[in-house]
Chains A and B, each alone.
Chain A
Amino acid sequence: MSRDLAERHDGILRRDFLKVVGVTGAGATIAGCSTQDVERLLPYVTAPEEITPGVATWYTTVCRGCAAECGMWVRTREGRAIKVEGNPTHPVSQGGLCGRGHATLQHLYNPDRFHGPMIREGDVFRQGTWDEAERLLAARLQRGRNPQNAVDGGSVLFIGGHTGPTMSRLIGEFVAALGGVRVDYDAVTDAPMLEAARIAYGVESVPRYDIGAARLLVSFGYDFVDSGASPVEHNKGLARMSGVNDESHAKGRFVFLGPRLSLTGLNADEWIPIRPGSEAAVALGIASAIATPDAAGPYANLLQAYSPAAAAEAAGVSEEAILALAERFRTEGPSLAMGPGAGAHHRNATAANLAVMILNHVAGNVGRTVFYEAGSSAVASRMGDLQGAIASMSAGDVGVVLVHGTNPAYSLPATAGFREAFAQVPFKVSFASAMDETAALADLILPDQHFLEAWGDSAPRPGVMAIQQPVMSPVSLFDSKHSGDVMLAVMRLAVPATPPAAATFYEYLRTAHAATDDAAWRQALRTGSVGATEASTTAPALRAPDRALSFDLPTFDGSGDLTLVVHPSSRFGGGEFSNSPWMQELPDPVSKIVWHSWAEIHPTAAAARGLVNGDIVTLSSPHGAVEVPVWLYPGIREDAIALAMGAGHTSMGRYADGHGVNALDLLPGTAEQPSGAMVTVATTVTLEPTGRRMRHATVDGSAGDQHDRPIAPAVQLSLLGAEAEAAEEEHGELMELQAGGGFIPVPAEDGSPASFPLPGARYGEYANAHEGPRWAMAIDLDKCTGCSACVTACQAENNVPWTGEDQVRMGRDMAWIRIERYYEHVDATQASDLDIRFLPMLCQHCNNAPCEPVCPVFATYHTPEGVNAQIYNRCVGTRYCANNCPYKVRVFNWYRYTDAVPEPLNWQWNPDVTVRDNGVMEKCSFCMQRIREAENRAALEDQRPVRDGEIVPACEQSCPAEAIVFGNIRDPNARVTQVVASERTYRVLDAIINTQPAVNYLRKVTFHEVAAGEH
């Protein structure tokens, strides 16, 4: 074996940025530092004092992934953001972060970002200078705004998306100065909810829900974990509400009403599969059952009109179900009802939300679990307004249109006619930082900075104010410029008479916060937020409706036999995240499918049409048609079919284009009245098989069936405390095995930390001699909501590559942690108990690891700290360990997948983690690099021991549900030890193969009886 071949194959590149700390020219240097040529070390010219090479620097900022605006901690190394995490001190997110939040890093390093301002010349774009671009825009704007010399005639139109309050104000001034019109548009909003709040209470903001405080949570098709107003916060609330308390055995109940089980719905304890559009009737029916009509004040007549019977009739479920739920409202308080969200915007969505608010009102939840606070910046932008703009554009009244922070050319139904109208405008400007469908049509593109490179602020809800600060100097490959700075510059050029006061956006921002003095400002930058005020607990009175609303079933277009449900994707939102390979390869929490689209249809409905999984069908609505493979899903009504938003991009980037179909193509271009939200559940479709079939690119190998194995067991709430029974249930088979000459059984009580490693653990004995810590993990399955944030967090932390659709279809996904989703009981025909088990499966770090003895070269072995280590550079690649791993958590580098990672996406790689080479096995390491980092820190601080909670693996850090706890199980006071002491503790498959994992799971708790066999 020649040196240089050995070299090439052993050259496992770790991005050691010390060599390239010079932020300027860093990119070029990396390209240059392959193992063979002379390696260059580029020191700073003048070192910034906050940066120590090799030591991470953390900054706080605000996530702009969605309108929730969670607080972020950003880990930077040598001047590069390499990992984003939730900010525990931020009042909204409180430490968690969703998968999309992590994916914003890939927007920062998006290889498809513009390298500078782009100016259209004919059919192509030419890269220009900022000066040139700004002058061009200013000139066009001047012509645009004085009618006399308006060559293009007409006025200025500004189409904006969601942004921070100060930026929003600047945009307002900008548009005003140019005498233009401004409309805002986002595809995924809670406009009906907001409109209903305005009607009912005169409050111009989406109500705030305190889910954690409720004991009965009822969602009328509000997918608050998937998308919604604040996914992380609501996810955390759900976990706190429905996660059982191991002392008091108290557990909140979650009931989901809707035609389709979203990720949110899968977490429910009970599912009432109501007909699409019947939310209003059901809410009012329940309200009438639990309160006298006059409790509803001005809406008393509605309560008289909608009896439980009427509700049941409208919803297509039994009256008993409605009454039972009403009974719970009376007895299981405090309750909380949430109105239809973006996944259920039918033509009466505002009325439905209003009805839910009436229900909350009569149930006395206002001020307890739901709060109406004025003055949120999260003003839901409406499609209704945009329709007006579209009309004026097509009428030729618009001379210049500017698009900022939104992508209507993609996120509007084709029939809304945006593209055509947009094309009418003589001069079109986009602020997109990377190509998207709207920018592709523009004449001038002024690439904005990524929020991690830029200043800004956020006020996600009244009383919460956070500063968004740049955590690194802008990515050097891209000549981007803060849109605020651009607007200020353009204003100076276009309206020299009244130039803006501020020279830069930072100045503008700082003056906007003049109230906060420098000390407070620095404090805000440190903590990441300016604090929250307590919400008022007073319940405002209901106001009479100021417009007519219909609470009946909405109308649906077309005469198809399937009602189409289009819902935001929990991975792509409305499509903003489609160009992130992390999101594309993250298995959808519901379907476990990656990269491509699918249509969810009930198995019975499919059988009736002779369809099987993967059959490609043509869905036709009056507004369009798409070709998509069907996926059989028991969690959807037989008369409905569901499609996710966010796929089917045509010009967004290399990872988005050509993957899946755009569900909006089937929707009408009309808006819900009066809220003006885009309708997502408004049409029926006909289904036509194409005769073609494809294999789904899925990671689910058994269609959600756990085959009665002790993998994700559950225990009935009423049985908690009756330990013996549960123990018998778990260890029954164990006794059988022993009778058959099996291994020494593990007694039930040996779950206690003291007894680790358990008797019979052969490879664990190595650890007994060792005095140091013993790392272990606990995962509470009653808290886990399957949101999959941990999966992306792990991928970001550990340089886990993505492999692409075909590789995943073969089974070659590389994720170190996967969320297994097992159905135990789903019934789409009637109101019934729902039992879905989510199980985060990562390396179990077995004390009795089957993978260890079979490795011929000790590439995997047990460390004294009880971690099952994988030494990449020793691995020969026999793959015996993976064969012998009962959990199948070992993944193999079939190719050098990291070669496919383009500049600068690889700038995100974690320098503390080896990038694995072709032909080696890899797996979860309990974030060994974080363990070492903490140990090093502790050792330098006069050899103190590592504190509990000092080591936080990426998955635990990210988990919005706080379901994962990591620590030293030898320490009786460690959090993990406390948690594992629970009677619900079990270890996956341990009962039958005695692997004795270091990862302990806490059983899911159900209200209903866990049927025999349903582990």
Chain B
Amino acid sequence: MKKNWLIGGLAGVLALAGVAFVQGGGAEGEAEGGGVQPIAFPHNLHAGSEEGQANMNCQFCHFSAERSVDAGIPPVSTCWGCHQVIPGRNAPEEVLKIEEHMESGEPIPWVRIYKISDHAHFPHMRHIAAGLQCQQCHGEVQTMGVLTERDPVWGGANMGWCIDCHRQPNEQGVQQASTDCAVCHY
């Protein structure tokens, strides 16, 4: 009987630590519910390099990633720029929605997929300038169809995942990026 308590207690403590660990592991700021995208936009068809995929550069649409803290969501006019001539092989009816938005002047209410905690500041341009690929954080988005949930490899909500990278030594052997708290939290 005594033994059971011991085991039970131990298990309890571990469970608590476990919870704390996960809690620490950035449960913050995930876009819950993964609503349906207003337009079924297939990232793979645009950014993928497979046969019949457009193989576009991410920053063609996410235009401000290299000069701003925000990567930028393309204005409808950007989509329209190509799609007024490209009807879209697979889902022309989706493409037509773009036209509607252009005419009505209503923005497209995209569902947010990638979100970092509000109290953490992530300057995209610094990371692009450091030569990171978008995929290193966002995962192989170019292989994914309509985004309803983020690529599981995305660690943006997990601080440990961030500083893992910041801690990597550079060629001089010192850590490549600061792990000072105030670099991201202010």
Q: Which residues of A contact B (CB under 8 A)?
A: 1, 3, 6-7, 10-14, 16, 18-19, 21-22, 24-25, 35-47, 52-55, 858, 861, 863-864, 867, 869, 871-874, 912-915, 925, 928-929, 932, 936, 939-940
CB distance from B95 to the nearest CB of A (A): 16
**Beta-carbon contact of A42 and B186 below 8 Å:** no
**Beta-carbon contact of B32 and A36 below 8 Å:** yes
A-chain residues with CB within 8 Å of residue B185 when the two chains form the complex: 871-874, 914
B-chain residues with CB within 8 Å of residue A867 when the two chains form the complex: 182
Chain A residue with the shortest CB-CB distance to B110: A41
B-chain residues with CB within 8 Å of residue A929 when the two chains form the complex: 121, 186
Using an 8 Å CB-CB cutoff, how does the interface string of B77-115 with A read, 1 for contact, 0 for none? 110000000000000000000000110011111111001
B-chain residues with CB within 8 Å of residue A19 when the two chains form the complex: 112
A-chain residues with CB within 8 Å of residue B105 when the two chains form the complex: 24, 45
Q: Contacts A54-B64, A914-B186; is A45 near B115 (CB within 8 Å)?
A: no
Contact of A45 among B27, B34, B102 (CB under 8 A): B102
**Beta-carbon contact of B29 and A11 below 8 Å:** yes
CA distance A380 to B131 in the complex (A): 61
Chain B residue with the shortest CB-CB distance to A858: B181
A-chain residues with CB within 8 Å of residue B27 when the two chains form the complex: 3, 6-7
CB distance from B62 to the nearest CB of A (A): 10
B162 at the interface (CB under 8 A from A): no
CA distance A38 to B125 in the complex (A): 27
CB distance from A935 to the nearest CB of B (A): 9
Which of A38, A874, A912: most chain B CB closer than 10 A?
Answer: A38
Majority SS at the chain B contact face: loop
CA distance A46 to B123 in the complex (A): 24
**Beta-carbon contact of B111 and A40 below 8 Å:** yes
Contact of B125 among A18, A913, A936 (CB under 8 A): A936
**Beta-carbon contact of A863 and B69 below 8 Å:** no
Contact of B31 among A1, A38, A47 (CB under 8 A): A38
Chain A residue with the shortest CB-CB distance to B73: A43
**Beta-carbon contact of B186 and A913 below 8 Å:** yes
CB distance from B115 to the nearest CB of A (A): 7
Please list 30 pairs of residues, one from A and one from B, whose beta carbons are closer than 8 Å in the complex, sorted by A's number.
A12-B117, A16-B70, A25-B107, A38-B33, A39-B111, A40-B110, A40-B111, A42-B109, A44-B77, A47-B75, A47-B77, A54-B72, A55-B69, A858-B181, A861-B181, A864-B178, A867-B182, A869-B180, A869-B181, A871-B182, A873-B117, A873-B185, A914-B118, A914-B119, A914-B186, A932-B123, A936-B69, A936-B123, A939-B129, A940-B126
B-chain residues with CB within 8 Å of residue A25 when the two chains form the complex: 106-107
CB distance from B56 to the nearest CB of A (A): 17
B-chain residues with CB within 8 Å of residue A46 when the two chains form the complex: 75-77
**Beta-carbon contact of A11 and B107 below 8 Å:** no
**Beta-carbon contact of B76 and A869 below 8 Å:** no
**Beta-carbon contact of A18 and B73 below 8 Å:** yes
CB distance from B148 to the nearest CB of A (A): 11
Contact of A38 among B28, B77, B78, B112 (CB under 8 A): B112
B-chain residues with CB within 8 Å of residue A54 when the two chains form the complex: 64, 68-70, 72, 124
**Beta-carbon contact of B123 and A14 below 8 Å:** no
CA distance A41 to B114 in the complex (A): 11
CB distance from B163 to the nearest CB of A (A): 14
List 17 additional A-B contacts (Cβ < 8 Å) besides A39-B111, A45-B76: A7-B28, A11-B118, A12-B118, A22-B107, A40-B110, A40-B112, A42-B110, A44-B76, A44-B107, A45-B107, A46-B76, A47-B75, A53-B68, A53-B70, A55-B68, A869-B180, A936-B126
CB distance from B9 to the nearest CB of A (A): 20
CB distance from B6 to the nearest CB of A (A): 26
CA distance A872 to B119 in the complex (A): 8
**Beta-carbon contact of B74 and A43 below 8 Å:** yes
B167 at the interface (CB under 8 A from A): no
In order of increasing CB-CB distance, the 3 nearest A-B pairs are A54-B70, A54-B68, A928-B186
A-chain residues with CB within 8 Å of residue B178 when the two chains form the complex: 864
**Beta-carbon contact of A45 and B106 below 8 Å:** yes
A-chain residues with CB within 8 Å of residue B126 when the two chains form the complex: 936, 939-940
CA distance A929 to B183 in the complex (A): 10
B18 at the interface (CB under 8 A from A): no
A-chain residues with CB within 8 Å of residue B72 when the two chains form the complex: 18, 52-54
**Beta-carbon contact of A44 and B75 below 8 Å:** yes
**Beta-carbon contact of A928 and B75 below 8 Å:** no
CB distance from B77 to the nearest CB of A (A): 4
A-chain residues with CB within 8 Å of residue B119 when the two chains form the complex: 10, 12, 14, 872-873, 914
**Beta-carbon contact of B69 and A38 below 8 Å:** no
Q: Mark out the residues of chain B between 122 and 154 whose CB falls within 8 Å of any chain A CB in the assembled complex.
A: 123-126, 129
Which of A19, A37, A940: most chain B CB closer than 10 A?
Answer: A940
CA distance A939 to B123 in the complex (A): 12
CB distance from B117 to the nearest CB of A (A): 7
B-chain residues with CB within 8 Å of residue A864 when the two chains form the complex: 178, 180
CA distance A37 to B31 in the complex (A): 8
CB distance from B170 to the nearest CB of A (A): 14
Contact of A39 among B31, B67, B70, B76 (CB under 8 A): B31
B-chain residues with CB within 8 Å of residue A872 when the two chains form the complex: 119, 185
CA distance A46 to B108 in the complex (A): 11
CB distance from B21 to the nearest CB of A (A): 13
B-chain residues with CB within 8 Å of residue A13 when the two chains form the complex: 118
B-chain residues with CB within 8 Å of residue A925 when the two chains form the complex: 182, 186
**Beta-carbon contact of A38 and B35 below 8 Å:** yes
**Beta-carbon contact of A940 and B67 below 8 Å:** yes
CB distance from A265 to the nearest CB of B (A): 40
CA distance A911 to B34 in the complex (A): 25
B-chain residues with CB within 8 Å of residue A21 when the two chains form the complex: 73
CA distance A37 to B35 in the complex (A): 9
A-chain residues with CB within 8 Å of residue B183 when the two chains form the complex: 932
CB distance from A740 to the nearest CB of B (A): 37
B23 at the interface (CB under 8 A from A): yes
CB distance from A747 to the nearest CB of B (A): 31
CB distance from B109 to the nearest CB of A (A): 5
CA distance A54 to B71 in the complex (A): 8
CB distance from A439 to the nearest CB of B (A): 33
A-chain residues with CB within 8 Å of residue B124 when the two chains form the complex: 54
CB distance from A687 to the nearest CB of B (A): 51
CA distance A874 to B105 in the complex (A): 42
CB distance from A437 to the nearest CB of B (A): 40
CB distance from B149 to the nearest CB of A (A): 12
CA distance A36 to B186 in the complex (A): 23
CA distance A274 to B132 in the complex (A): 72
CA distance A432 to B106 in the complex (A): 31
**Beta-carbon contact of A45 and B77 below 8 Å:** yes
CA distance A46 to B76 in the complex (A): 6
A-chain residues with CB within 8 Å of residue B77 when the two chains form the complex: 44-47
Which of B101, B119, B129, B183: most chain A CB closer than 10 A?
Answer: B119
CA distance A24 to B106 in the complex (A): 8
CB distance from B82 to the nearest CB of A (A): 15
Contact of A869 among B106, B125, B182 (CB under 8 A): B182
CB distance from B124 to the nearest CB of A (A): 8
B-chain residues with CB within 8 Å of residue A932 when the two chains form the complex: 121, 123, 183, 186
Contact of B33 among A12, A37, A939 (CB under 8 A): A37
CB distance from B116 to the nearest CB of A (A): 9
Chain A residue with the shortest CB-CB distance to B102: A45
CA distance A52 to B69 in the complex (A): 10
CA distance A710 to B10 in the complex (A): 56
CA distance A936 to B111 in the complex (A): 29
B-chain residues with CB within 8 Å of residue A928 when the two chains form the complex: 182, 186
CB distance from B158 to the nearest CB of A (A): 14
**Beta-carbon contact of B121 and A912 below 8 Å:** yes
CB distance from A48 to the nearest CB of B (A): 9
B-chain residues with CB within 8 Å of residue A11 when the two chains form the complex: 28-29, 118
